Structure 1
Amino acid sequence: MTSTAHHSDPEVCDLADASVVGLLEQAAECEAVLREAAVHQLRIAYEWAISHPVIDAAETVRGPVLPSVLGAPETLGGAGTPAVAAFTAEPLAVACGIAPSSATALLADALDLHHRLPVLWDQTRAGSVAVWKARRVAARTRDLSLDAALWVDRQTAGRVGALSKAALDRLIAEAAARVDGADLSEKEKSGRSQWDVRLTHRDPREGGATSEIHAVGDTLDLTRFHDIVCAEAEALGALGDGDSFEVRKAKALGVIADAQARLDLTSLIGDDASPEEQAKVRRRLIERRDAKVRLYLHASLADVAAGSSGAVGTVEGLGSVTLDLIKDWAGRSRVTIQPVLHVAGDDPWSVDRHDPPPRMAEQVVLRDGACVFPWCKHPARHADLDHIEPYVNPDEGGPPGQTSPEQLAPLCRRHHRAKTADAWSYQRTAPGTYLWTGPAALTALVTPTGTTSVTTR
């Protein structure tokens, strides 16, 4: 008989007897401590926000910083909350070990609860409302006017704590609809500003073969498209596809995309269009038909050459995928596979100009993958390439060879501005590794495997 006994953790079961009641009491105590800590974190976030008021200008070691460089004041919360200085969220993010976007949301929620939802904030401090629920109300009412938010706060008093997430969202929406006096037609018009289609790749730890597409648009258009997707899914089932209807709907998107790419739409070009306009439209249609998906594949050359079954590679922006899946994608769609070889180091070359040539820029992007600010996940391919040591024009005494893979690092526009304004500084300690220093002696080490806070005290 196989033993199924488990060894208890002595630090957890520090009881006279490891009874079920005792463990539940400890669990309840932990929950109470976590709630109290979450409320205290909101208090700290609020104090941090109001201790960083808006400033009109700043002086750095290189002289005064223009407001356009320093960054505009940031109104993180809704109407009625005080604005804060640019880059207020970054030190808090590094101190907490969270993404700058998460720190920004924490500051915004703290400001809203104090200034726009005072009743809810009092109930949260008293422990009758979980912090996550209070923060959800703050986020969902951020676009309302101050008067509307205060009205929602009064109307939902005493009801938030007992509601589920879905019920809470319905209550907020109902209260907001009752107080918001905007004309419905104006809302319908303003809704167009939110129309968009976004492709999001899941967390690489969940596998790189599944992504999400989110569409916001005209109700009629999206309903018609959904009907077409369902019809294609039913057709796949009739042809013998044994997957579930939900999976077939996802696969139907590829069928529709392939059919759309093969359509000849040149007949839709108006007869009154000039020859130049007709030629321009035809070029765009050809580009659409010949469009390819480009994948940057990091994989062992031996696995690629041998065609090893089950071998795994990493695709930029997606994460780990099997080479078998890559071959399947290449076999049924227009996919360009760009192999990536030896991008951990730096080629010993440089140029005497500010902007790097395409090959150098590509090397830096592939080496780092994302913005190298602590815990920032902004893709390097959509970031600025920053000179770690500020570039000096050769006409003004700058040395030759200032632009090289060793001297460049990707920074998103926000963190590029933070570095330019001397709010933060960093140095490169190895290929793909950067040591950052910020306000209050905050220090963090960014490596190819993640970010680590560094204690300097």
Structure 2
Amino acid sequence: MAALPLTHPDLDGPGVLLAALEANHGVLAGAEVAQFEMATEWAAHPVDDLDDAATVEGTEGELAIAGPGAPLVAEFCVADFALAVGLTTYAGRDYLGDAVEVRYRLPRLWERVMAGQVAVWRARKIARQTMSLPLEGAEHVDRHLAPVAHRLTWAQLERTVEAARATFDPVEAEHRRLLAAEGRFFDVDTHTPSLAGTTTVRGELDLADALDLDHALTVGAQRLADLGCAETLDVRRAMAAGALARGDLMLPCRVAQSRSRPQSLGSSSSTPTCPRKPWLVWRTPAPMCSWARSRAGAPPPPAPSASARCWIWVSTSRCPATHVNPWDQGGPTCSCNLVPACRFHHRLKTRGGWRLERVGHRLFTWTSPHGRTYTRHT
């Protein structure tokens, strides 16, 4: 196999190339730290008119993007920041929220990030978990995890955050425990078996139930081995599950030791309730796409006119429509002057000083109050 051509001949040699990679990584890490710090400076952008924000519907307000105790930020400043760093509005809001969370609620971690000792992505992962904690809980996590944040594992982070929640917010901790219990399920896939006649079983159980089931399958597998079954342990455990279902093996657990169960499992009602949420059924929308039409043998639809195409595009969008040329300045309410926009972007254009201009069929240019322009395909 021929060797790849060198893009940078001056970096010939492993040592030179590795040194260049290390230097480049340092530059990128420093730039990310600087951007993280500038994000908190931009988050201090004030609301233009706080009186209007409190009285006029749709005007700019203050937004809570971090946990309790962190300062609020001007709502419309999120859009400018997101476009400046190449993120979507919601991703930019998350980035700003992470930066504000670390700076104002995790000060020890912030110092280590600014010193280049902890990567920004690690600090953001910690911030995502501490936002739901009260201020005392965030301080607890910061005190315990900041010294080891550079080598922190996900399991350590989760344990520390949940311990802080149980200590400083026990009501929320109990609510989350009950909510997690409602997500238990046990599925046997009987619709798509393999060609060998096997199928998949998956579920999420209460820990005590899972331990009992695991013990029962282990005992059943050993009984099959004692009866002369020469299959592997995994195969015998699978066979033991079938034997338990048919009643050939008894569950080797102490039934006398009762544990609390949700009412849906121990209810005396004749009609049991299922704690699982119903499955969502997806249907092919109308009109059918070309692939669905070819599978169903349906003829291709007639080509719509330009105005009809514009109307179909606007009317089938999940977002409400906003006027490209403002309605109060004579802009018509028709498909040629409408574009899908969520409420936030509609308010950004109407109340935030942004301008929207159509430059193509589905190509638009946004101009911020600071004069910066961004072209986007909608």
- What TM-score does the superposition give when structure 1 sets the normalisation length? 0.58
2:58 to 69, 73, 76: 69
Question: Residue 53 and residue 360 in structure 1: after superposition, are their counterparts in 2 closer, same or farther (change >3 A)?
Answer: closer
Q: Which amino acid aligns with 2:333?
A: T
CA contact (8 A) 1:427 1:434 kept: yes
1:157 offset after TM fit, Å?
2.5
Q: Is 2:304 the counterpart of 1:362?
A: no
1:418-449 deviation line (CA, Å, top 9, x unaligned): 1110431111122112111002211011236x
1:67 offset after TM fit, Å?
3.3
Q: Is 2:168 the counterpart of 1:170?
A: no
1:102 to 85, 88, 91: 91
* CA–CA separation in structure 2 for the residues paired with 1:407 and 1:99: 24
Higher strand share: 1
Quick one: percent identity of the two aligned structures?
27
1:445 match: secondary structure: strand
Correspondence for 2:368: 438
Question: Residue 243 and residue 411 in structure 1: after superposition, are their counterparts in 2 closer, same or farther (change >3 A)?
Answer: farther
Q: Is 2:2 the counterpart of 1:14?
A: no
Correspondence for 1:179: 167
1:180 offset after TM fit, Å?
2.3
Correspondence for 1:418: 348
Question: Residue 53 and residue 409 in structure 1: after superposition, are their counterparts in 2 closer, same or farther (change >3 A)?
Answer: closer
Q: Which amino acid aligns with 1:362?
A: I
Q: Is 2:121 the counterpart of 1:132?
A: yes
Correspondence for 2:205: none
Q: Which amino acid aligns with 1:219?
A: A
Q: Is 2:125 the counterpart of 1:115?
A: no
Q: Which amino acid aligns with 1:30?
A: N
Correspondence for 1:355: none
* CA–CA separation in structure 1 for the residues paired with 2:146 and 2:37: 21
Structure 1 residue runs of 4+, over 3 Å off? 64-67, 186-192, 240-247, 290-293, 295-299, 325-328, 336-343, 359-363
* CA–CA separation in structure 2 for the residues paired with 1:337 and 1:160: 61
Question: Residue 326 and residue 81 in structure 1: after superposition, are their counterparts in 2 closer, same or farther (change >3 A)?
Answer: farther
CA contact (8 A) 1:360 1:404 kept: no
Cα RMSD, aligned residues only: 3.6
Superposed, 1:26-425 pairs within 5 Å as: 26-53=20-47, 55-57=49-51, 67-164=56-153, 166-177=154-165, 179-183=167-171, 187-189=173-175, 219=181, 222-224=183-185, 227=186, 229=187, 231-233=188-190, 236-237=192-193, 240=195, 245=200, 292-294=283-285, 297=288, 299=290, 323=291, 341-342=303-304, 345-347=306-308, 362-365=312-315, 381-392=317-328, 402-425=332-355
Unaligned runs of 5+ in 2: 203-278
Unaligned runs of 5+ in 1: 59-63, 193-216, 248-287, 300-322, 348-358, 367-380, 393-397, 449-457
- Compare relative contact order (CA 8 Å, sep 6+) and give the higher one, 1 or 2: 1
Structure with the greater alpha carbon radius of gyration: 2
1:139 offset after TM fit, Å?
1.1
1:174-217 deviation line (CA, Å, top 9, x unaligned): 4424532424xx6444677xxxxxxxxxxxxxxxxxxxxxxxx6
Question: Residue 119 and residue 338 in structure 1: after superposition, are their counterparts in 2 closer, same or farther (change >3 A)?
Answer: farther
Q: Which amino acid aligns with 1:45?
A: A
1:97-143 deviation line (CA, Å, top 9, x unaligned): 21011111111111111110010011111122111010111111001
1:337 offset after TM fit, Å?
11
1:377-411 deviation line (CA, Å, top 9, x unaligned): xxxx221111222224xxxxx86x92221111111
Question: Residue 291 and residue 132 in structure 1: after superposition, are their counterparts in 2 closer, same or farther (change >3 A)?
Answer: closer
* CA–CA separation in structure 2 for the residues paired with 1:387 and 1:53: 25
